[in-house]
Copies of this chain bind each other. A is one copy, B any other.
Amino acid sequence: MKDLNELLATVSQLFDQANHTAAPAGLYDPIEYTMHLGGKRLRPALLMAACEMFGGEAEQAANAAMGIEMFHNYTLLHDDLMDQSPLRRGKPTVYRKWNSNTAILSGDTMFALAWRYMLQSRCQRLSEVLSCFCNTAIEVVEGQQLDMDFERTAKVPIADYMEMIRLKTAVLLACALKVGALHTNASAADVERLYGVGIHCGLAFQLQDDLLDVYGDVAVFGKQTGQDIIDRKKTYMVLRAMELLPPDEAASLETMYAEPCIDAAGKVARVKEVYDRLDLRTVVAEAVDREFEIATAELDAIAVPESNKSTMRELVKSLVGRKK
């Protein structure tokens, strides 16, 4: 079994060698550009680690790994257009570098190519793979729709927010793990446990992301602190703060948060002051821990030798930024 470094090297190699250049260039150049923007290749790594955990070889799952990353990048491409985001991984987004129509059509092609990769999986349990992938694809767009809906919703209950991030973020991580496991003869029960690992890691990952937007180290995290506040984005941070505050203070946070951002630094500082007062950093870190612990418990319960779990444990920890 590969250790984490070997696994990540296998994933890197797979994507370094991939080439999606084809005609018409107007369609495939943006795909090749997108697939070589880099990124952590988290989903293919999870997929391959799952395959190895149950005694398979990462390489067997190469097509599915490409497919899941292709799908993920397709969602980013369309999301960037819908959100009008200028940059992705420090480079111009496709709709900026080319145009909106290119982003739509190249994205559509990537979704179809993701299916082609999935169909090419050499896998005994292909129908389960395809059905999981299809359900996940539908859930991810539902999550994106909820996220857009929340922008226009004054009060979003925490439970609805959790459902949104489950759909938008967690199910794809869970799908990657499940599809990797389906490349082996893992039992149905273990496959479902691993799916649960993905869901709770995904939730932890997203809550952590919301936390780091306010309290992250810019040098490490790579984003400007408080960007979600500037963008007036509904996050776990602001929703949790509203829940913890007495009604009148919640109302004034809501007003403050909804303000058009003229003095960005000032607004971030004022919102952060409220968060500090509520010790939201600790509150949210605890929520991250809870999800991470559920994920760990699911992983513990999977019926393979502990030695088979070591790479997966490391990967899962790195996902939520744990050193140990």
Contact = CB atoms under 8 A, between A and B. Distances in A.
Contacts of A271: none
Contacts of A131: 119
Contact of A134 (B82, B116, B149): B116
17 contacts: A24-B145, A27-B142, A27-B145, A82-B101, A104-B104, A105-B141, A105-B144, A105-B145, A105-B148, A108-B141, A112-B134, A112-B138, A112-B141, A115-B134, A116-B138, A119-B131, A126-B127
Interface residues of A, number: 35
Contacts of A137: 112, 115
Contacts of A116: 134-135, 138
Interface of A: 23-24, 26-27, 78, 81-82, 100-101, 104-105, 107-109, 111-113, 115-116, 119, 126-127, 130-131, 134-135, 137-138, 141-142, 144-146, 148-149
A32 to B, nearest CB: 14
Q: What 7 A-B pairs are tightest by C-beta distance, nearest first?
A: A27-B145, A112-B137, A82-B101, A24-B145, A112-B138, A109-B141, A115-B134
A131 B121 CA distance: 12
Main secondary structure of the interface of A (DSSP, over half): helix
A130 B119 CA distance: 8
Nearest to A117: B134
A15 to B, nearest CB: 20
Given A101-B148, A104-B78, A145-B26, A138 B119 contact: no
Contact of A26 (B100, B130, B135, B149): B149
A78 B138 CA distance: 17
A27 B141 contact: yes
Contacts of A148: 26, 101, 105
A16 to B, nearest CB: 24
Nearest to A27: B145
Given A82-B101, A115-B115, 10 more contacts: A24-B142, A26-B148, A27-B145, A78-B105, A82-B100, A107-B108, A109-B141, A112-B141, A113-B138, A116-B134
Contacts of A134: 112, 115-116, 119
Given A24-B146, A27-B145, A115-B115, A81 B109 contact: no
A294 to B, nearest CB: 26
A111 B104 CA distance: 13
B24 A149 contact: yes
A128 to B, nearest CB: 11
A141 to B, nearest CB: 5
Contact of A104 (B82, B115, B119, B142): B82
A245 to B, nearest CB: 28
A113 B116 CA distance: 16
Nearest to A82: B101
Contacts of A82: 100-101, 104-105
